[in-house]
Amino acid sequence: MATDSMEIDDALYSRQRYVLGDTAMQKMAQSHVFLSGMGGLGVEIAKNVVLAGIKALTIHDTKQCQTWDLGTNFFIWEEDLKNQRNRAEAVVHRIAELNPYVHVASSTVPLEESTDLSFLRQYQCVILTEARLSLQKVINNFCRSQHPPIKFISSDIYGIWSRLFCDLGDEFEVLDATGEDPKEVFISNITQSDPGIVTCLENRPHKLETGQSVTFREVNGMSSLNGTTHQITVVSPYSFSIGNTSTLKPYLHGGIAVQRKMPKTFHFESLEKQLRNPRYLTADFSKPEVPLQVHAAMLALDRFHTSRRRLPNIGCLQDAQELLKLTEAVSETLESKPEVDEDIVKWLSWTARGFLAPLAAAVGGIASQEVLKAVTGKFSPLQQWLYVDAIDIVEYSEQTNCEEFLPRGDRYDALRACIGDTLCQKLHHLNVFLVGCGAIGCEMLKNFALLGIGIGPEKGKVTITDPDLIEKSNLNRQFLFRPHHIQKPKSVTAAAAALSINPQLKIEPHLNKVCPATENIYGDKFYSTQDVIVMALDNVEARRYIDSRCVANLRPLLDSGTMGTKGHTEVIVPHLTESYNSHRDPPEEEIPFCTLKSFPAFIEHTIQWARDKFESMFSHKPSLFNKFWQTYSSAEEVLQRIEFGESLEGCYQVIKSLSRRPRTWSQCVELARIKFEKYFNHKALQLLHSFPLDTRLKDGSLFWQSPKRPPSPVQFELNDPLHISFILSSAKLFAAVHCIPITEKDLSEEAIQKILSEVTVKEFIPSNKIVQTDETARKPDQIPVSSEDERYAMTQLKKIICSGEATKSDLQMAPLLFEKDDDTNGHIDFITAASNLRARMYNIEPADRLKTKRIAGKIIPAIATSTAAVSGLVALELIKIIGGHPYEAYKNCFLNLAIPIIIFTETAEVRKTDIRNGITFTIWDSWAVYGKEDFTLSNFISAVKEKYGIEPTMVVQGVKMLYVPVMPGHAKRLKLMMHKLVKPSADKKYVDLTVSFAPENDGDEDLPGPPVRYYFCKGDN
């Protein structure tokens, strides 16, 4: 982002722009931030805010790099220890490399209570980490005294405990509290009453909340409402009140209520006040009392630090007792006087010297989002405290011997102080399979490197795979990549970057997808060697597939994902939890075919229509054209076959394309002009011919009423930029498909106007074609070709051959593959112009190029803050898995950093299915039957009964029914040998079958059973 012109580098920031919006991005690009403390938490915050694109960051630290830092700070390397560098000076250049648009400077001057703080006036936000409370209070008071106040944020990690505090001044105005798109509500009725009740269309809940505001437009009858804004009160999911409408004209039909984003003011108190009576965000509602208990214990920890000039010694019972007394004293000074929890105090005392890197990643992501809120006024800020802990890791651990936690003089001492040496060793000897090296994948690799996962001398390895290459838009979130890595493989590059964080790491990068086609690589044998599978994917189908492989191979699985500021984590543990496939999100709602084709109501409809037109004209039809001419070698052969009465699939469409094929740039422009008339003029005239404006339905209501919008024909105008944009973008794409060269002169305004002035456009002739109005009707697969069409095709083909326009080059096109991120290819230009012209035709609010690109390209909004947060939370769950923790220890998380909410919940406990007679199974159970060469289906059924005590009545292989008693001929199959029935490939040692059992009562459904793995020979498992 070039701050002098304030232009946003879309190639770099495109995914983040959809999260923050351009106004917030531009505010960020003018902001100066000061960050003190370059430990593991400070560097996390620095990484995230620099990736986001602030103008300048000053990092401050007075400490020298130590061995300890290698396991907490991913930008401190062994060379920094040898050269005895200051921590800020060691990392400044590595942080600066993350974003060329951000100026990063370092400072090493002492920052104390007596320091002259006037230098802070140049900053809009000050962040403190690793600072004593007394210093935090002094700096917070200074920040509050400025006009406008400097935004203040402080955060700390003490072992397995963390806290975050925000003070954005007495009054902090937010223009957009949620970041959600404004809701649009189609209206079916408005009463003449006090208050007036607005009812929305059937089956379309408004999803508004009391206190929100809406602006009305397109209301007929009660038209004085149009353009006015009203605060609403929710009456029901389908209605809301807006105040007195009794004096207005009666409502007739139509109308849309659009949610209006109103500014919201947040009020903050100083750190000093908040210490006594904290206002905090509750993250775990199963333990609502914990935040206050941790608050008291951390205040006591600061008192301990002040009096002893050190933190409590690791595992020291005497220090823990002293901290407990201090906590009890502190609790009495707080307004709420929280009960003291001895376990919290003990583990805070034992681990306070330690540092848990994944916890820093999670809190650092959250804190970074608060920094961005502070400098942009976008999203609701944290009020005012957040406490996140990892006590579940140690609470359920069997290792409580203090020797376990003592330092050994290596890079893992900070980690060891938190989780003990036994867990550290288990991490070192772990085999992990990471699928995906995008934003979450990069963050996960950083966590793995800091935790020392897979460094064991005999056992332990990280295997990663990703088939993608690095693109510029990745650099905004995937922090292991730099500009010189563009077009290099993600997995190989990420592996090398992870080794720079921890050279002890054993890592093997692959370039494969994980799917049925790669089961020769990632088969049962591979999964059996892996201890944990971690998914860092962005599509549901791949997640479902990997989940099924983990269930089949009894492997724990960790999943996470983000969408903008929202994120989720899910932990799946064999025999304890349900799997990813146990729950299904509702399918994405499809836009009805008739809506897309004739009756759009929203800009999303016109964008999808334009996207479909792109696919049809520039990709699908050219591909079919090429395929046809690969099947038939010449036009003469095709003509001969048609004349002999042969019906050739796709022939009519191909000959039509050949006869209309442009051969010059002028013809491309002419074709674009003809398409303009067809799509934006004739289409509207035809619809109004089929359904005049006064058309009424059987019940007497108007056909053209909300949500149906009557179209208005668009008259082509040479001086309308949108019209010319459609012509130019369409013509360029036609030229690309038909391999027609273009010069700069061809694109000049003069040249285009000359061509357009000579184009003859056919007059509109109405047809009697039936317009589809049924919303349940689907797009027809193929439009039938009439005999008249076939005769026309034959005539056209003869003309083409006679004119010599059926050469080898004429019988080939260059289909376009839609690419959203290449601004030079004109794909988004065409879709934007086509969509907005259609929107104009239907009186729909148009969308700018950025919004069009997001919707047409199905781009998932993304930002580094939420990515860092979820990856840290996943890594915490990984530690619990390798510790063999019980079900109660695991937590799933949903977060939305915009609001902000962070909710930890228990995982879904695995369900048991009863078959009968006490025989049960879960998704993690599978039965095994070992056969031999002459094993029959009858033998298989008997073997199941003998081994598991229940006889199957149905056997299925995938979708193939092997044995269903009521099916004709199936009884004979009982004597058939299994290998003939299932037909395995030569290298296959087993087959997975599904069995079910007869119900206890006639008429009931068959009882399901677990999967049964049938081995062809006894020694095959």
Q: Is it the case that residue 1007 has pLDDT exceeding 80? A: yes
**CA end-to-end distance (rounded Å), the chain:** 58
pLDDT band of 1020, cuts 50, 70, 90: low
Residue 550 in tokens: 């983990």
Q: What is the pLDDT of residues 385-422, one digit of tens each?
A: 999 999 999 988 766 688 899 999 999 999 999 999 99
| Planar angle of CA 657, 658, 663, nearest 5 degrees | 105
Average pLDDT estimate for 647-676: 91
C-beta neighbour count of 224 within 10 angstroms: 13
Q: Tell me, what's the pLDDT at 594?
A: 86
pLDDT at 761: 92
Distance CA 1014, CA 1020 (A): 10
Amino acid 685: pLDDT: 95
Cα angle 809-815-817, degrees, rounded to a multiple of 5: 155
d(CA 418, CA 157): 11
The residue type at 576: L
Q: Which of 68-82, 479-493, 704-718, 766-780 has the lowest mean pLDDT?
A: 766-780
499-516 average pLDDT score? 97
What is the C-alpha to C-alpha distance for residues 945 and 87, in angstroms, rounded to an integer? Answer: 68
Which of 653-662, 663-672, 717-726, 793-802 has the lowest average pLDDT? 793-802
What distances in angstroms separate CA 328 from CA 331, 355, 516, 784, one per listed residue?
Answer: 5, 25, 59, 84
Q: What is the mean pLDDT of residues 717-729?
A: 96
Q: Examine the pLDDT at 4 and tell me if it is beyond 50.
A: no
Q: Which region among 110-114, 333-337, 766-770, 902-906 has the lowest average model confidence (pLDDT)?
A: 766-770
Q: Is the per-residue pLDDT at 778 higher than 90?
A: no
C-alpha–C-alpha distance, residues 921 and 1010, integer Å: 6
Q: DSSP secondary structure string, 745-792?
A: TTTSHHHHHHHHHTPPPPPP----PPPP--TTPPPPS-PPPPHHHHHH
pLDDT in the model for residue 590 = 79
Question: Does the annotation count 594 as an active-site position?
Answer: yes
What distance lies between CA 918 and its chain's CA centroid?
A: 43
Work out the average pLDDT over 786-796.
73
- pTM (2 decimals)? 0.92
Phi, psi for 11 (deg, rounded to 5) = -60, -30
In angstroms, the Cα distances linking 842 to 705, 851, 970 are 12, 19, 59
Q: What is the pLDDT at residue 844?
A: 93
Q: What is the structure's pLDDT at 498?
A: 98
State mean pLDDT over 885-897.
96
pLDDT digits (tens, 9 = 90+) for 229-259: 999 999 999 999 999 999 999 999 889 999 9
Q: Structure tokens of 535?
A: 């998914």
User: Which carries the bigger pLDDT value, residue 402 or residue 223?
Assistant: 223
Give the pLDDT of residue 526.
97
Of 2 and 617, the one with more pLDDT = 617
What is the average per-residue pLDDT within 788-810? 82
Q: At 207, is the secondary structure helix, strand, or coil?
A: coil
How far apart CA 896 and CA 876 sit, in angstroms, is: 19
Q: Per-residue pLDDT for 791 more than 90? A: no
Nearest to 48 by CA among 897, 903, 900, 902: 897
User: Does the pLDDT at position 985 exceed 80?
Assistant: no
Tens digit of each residue's pLDDT (9 = 90 or more) over 69-103: 999 999 999 999 999 999 999 999 999 999 999 99
Cα separation of 160 and 357, whole Å?
10
Q: Which of these is catalytic: 424, 550, 594, 893?
A: 594
Q: Return the C-alpha torsion angle 830, 832, 838, 842, nearest 10.
A: 180
Residue 769 confidence (pLDDT) above 90: no
Q: Give the pLDDT band (50/70/90) at residue 2.
A: very low
Low-confidence winner among 2-6, 74-78, 898-902, 949-953 (lowest mean pLDDT):
2-6
- Residue 914 clears pLDDT 50, i.e. is over it: yes
- pLDDT for 1021 equals 59
Res 5: pLDDT: 47
Q: How far apart are CA 477 and CA 697, in angstroms?
A: 53
* pLDDT over 80 at 793, yes or no: no
Angle between helices 864-882 and 40-52 (to 10 degrees): 140
* pLDDT score of 781: 64
Q: How does the average pLDDT of the chain come out, rounded?
A: 93
Higher per-residue confidence, 610 vs 986: 610
Residue 573, pLDDT score: 97
pLDDT at 105 over 70: yes
With pLDDT > 70 as the criterion, what percentage of the chain qualifies?
Answer: 98
pLDDT at residue 174 tops 70? yes
Q: What radius of gyration do the chain's Cα atoms show?
A: 34
Q: What pLDDT band is residue 980 in, cutting at 50, 70 and 90?
A: confident
Q: Compute the distance between CA of residue 23 and CA of residue 125 in angstroms, rounded to an integer.
A: 18
In tens, the pLDDT along 127-171 reads 999 999 999 999 999 999 999 999 999 999 999 999 999 999 999
Looking at residue 910, its pLDDT comes to 94
CA distance 132 to 271: 13
Strands (DSSP E) found in 51-91: 56-60
Task: Write out pLDDT tens, residues 343-386.
Answer: 999 999 999 999 999 999 999 999 999 999 999 999 999 999 99
pLDDT tens-digit series, residues 448-460: 999 999 999 889 9
Give the pLDDT mean for 46-68. 97
Structure tokens at 763: 């007059």
pLDDT of residue 340: 96
Complete DSSP assignment for 571-600: EE-TTTB--GGGS-PPPPPPPPHHHHHT--
DSSP codes of every residue in 270-298: -HHHHHHS--EE-S-TTSTTHHHHHHHHH
